[in-house]
Amino acid sequence: MNALYFALALSSTLPDTAIAQAQAQPSMTIYGTFKDANDESNNEQIAKKPFAGTNYQSTINIYGTIDAGIRNVTNTNKNGGDTLKMGSNGEYYNNRIGIKGTEDLGGGLNAHFHLETGFNTGTGALDNNAGRFFNRISSVGVAGSFGSIDFGRMPSVSCKTIFAYDPFQYRYVQIVPLAGASAGNADGNAPGFPWGTIGGTRFSNDVQYIGKFDNVTILAEFSTGEVSGSNSNGSAQAVGFTYRPGPFVIGAAYTRQKPNVSITGTPEYQQQNQITFGGAYQADGLRIAGGHINTEADTAIQGINNQAKNSWIGASYDFTPAISVTTGYYRTTLATGNVEKASRNLLIVGATYALSTRTNLYLGLDRASLGGFVSLTAGAKTRQTGTSLGINHMF
């Protein structure tokens, strides 16, 4: 992801009259507003700051990715019909436009911010129904030799830890269940899913710490629930780590949260715990990864499943610098009181062909077997075959 740097300059060879005319034009600030060149109000405010005159260096990076393609899925209704679609938030890799800024504070410290929005390629709409413009990331923080502390909305500790041992590393997230299964706010929660993370993955109102010390990374976070009359309702706490000894990586995370699991209009906050662990090995173009997520509420509410488990294993191999193939098997079960109510077994194979360092063509084939209440036919399995084909460009 490349930084975009913008600059305006006047050549010293210009006539004095041209320079004078150019200086008389309005100047544009970094925020996109205009002011007269002789309006020094902003400079006066800066001059009053305690660090005025200090030459701190700052950078701003603009990046993104856009993914467009088509996907066909069989057996999407009881009559066995197919569904063909194009509009998506990214079949292979989620669409996004982001801005990252860093200011060097000296002494090894920096201040930074991160804003990231997602969008639908087919329609141009935002990637969420809540109307959040910076739905993916909206954070600001400070960093130094001690690590980084950030405040705002960002991917959870669970989400960042699972990435290290997901075979697809959060590609095909609309198909592969891991991003949606990681702990997060119930942004897209649906009846029957109590762990508050279908379409979640992130925590809002979050304080997160990441410290990298040689080959060990430590993560911790606290998300405020902001529920009137209770500091625990809607809140979350998590810790995690990854350890990278040579070609191996192992990781684990634990999240304790209290989401609203109600399927009615009356809030019902329940304690739940999530633990995830896994590992990966990578060498000579080969990567093997596997892991497990177990999410369980303290008590079961009628009509709601209080247990969710995801187990997976997969591998990828770079046949050439341009051609890569990844495959994975993912099993998801939902249960109430240890009694399985639904299951999904997914086998997926994805291939990419690099047209350049920034542009890939992709082809994905997946087969899912649905059982229990997620099956379209009561008492029987529903088997769906999906085909995804498209292009992804990163900038």
Contacts of 314 (CB under 8 A, 6+ apart): 167, 168, 288, 289, 290, 326, 327, 328, 329
The C-alpha atoms of residue 346 and residue 2 are separated, in whole angstroms, by 35
DSSP at 24: H
Q: Which DSSP string corresponds to 143-186?
A: EETTEEEEEEEEE-HHHHHHGGG-TTTTSSTTTSSHHHHSS---
Q: To which residue do tokens 């294993």 refer?
A: 313
Q: CA separation (Å) from 5 to 2, 357, 383, 389?
A: 9, 20, 50, 33
Q: 8: left (phi > 0), else alpha (psi -120 to 50), else beta?
A: beta
Q: Which of 284, 208, 214 is nearest to 253 (CA)?
A: 208
The C-alpha atoms of residue 317 and residue 57 are separated, in whole angstroms, by 41
Q: CA separation (Å) from 79 to 76, 366, 370, 376, 377?
A: 8, 20, 16, 9, 10
Q: Where are the domains of the chain?
A: 16-394
Tell me the whole-structure pTM to 2 decimals: 0.83
- Per-residue tens of pLDDT for the chain, all 395 residues: 433 332 223 233 334 443 344 333 333 333 333 344 444 445 555 555 666 556 678 999 999 999 999 999 999 888 888 999 987 788 999 999 999 999 999 999 999 999 999 999 888 988 887 788 998 999 999 999 999 999 999 999 999 999 999 999 999 998 999 988 899 886 544 444 433 344 468 999 999 999 999 999 999 999 998 888 888 898 999 999 999 999 999 999 999 998 877 767 788 788 889 999 999 999 999 999 999 999 888 766 555 667 889 999 999 999 999 999 999 999 999 888 778 888 999 999 999 999 999 999 999 999 999 998 888 887 788 899 999 999 999 99
| Residue 78 pLDDT | 82
Token digits of residue 32:
């996109």
| Residue 55 pLDDT | 65
CATH of domain 16-394: 2.40.160.10
Degrees to nearest 5, angle at CA 314 with 312 and 315: 160
Pairing type for strands 236-243 and 216-223 reads antiparallel
The C-alpha atoms of residue 117 and residue 314 are separated, in whole angstroms, by 30
Q: What are phi and psi of 347, to 5 degrees?
A: -115, 125
Q: CA separation (Å) from 386 to 122, 309, 371?
A: 19, 23, 17
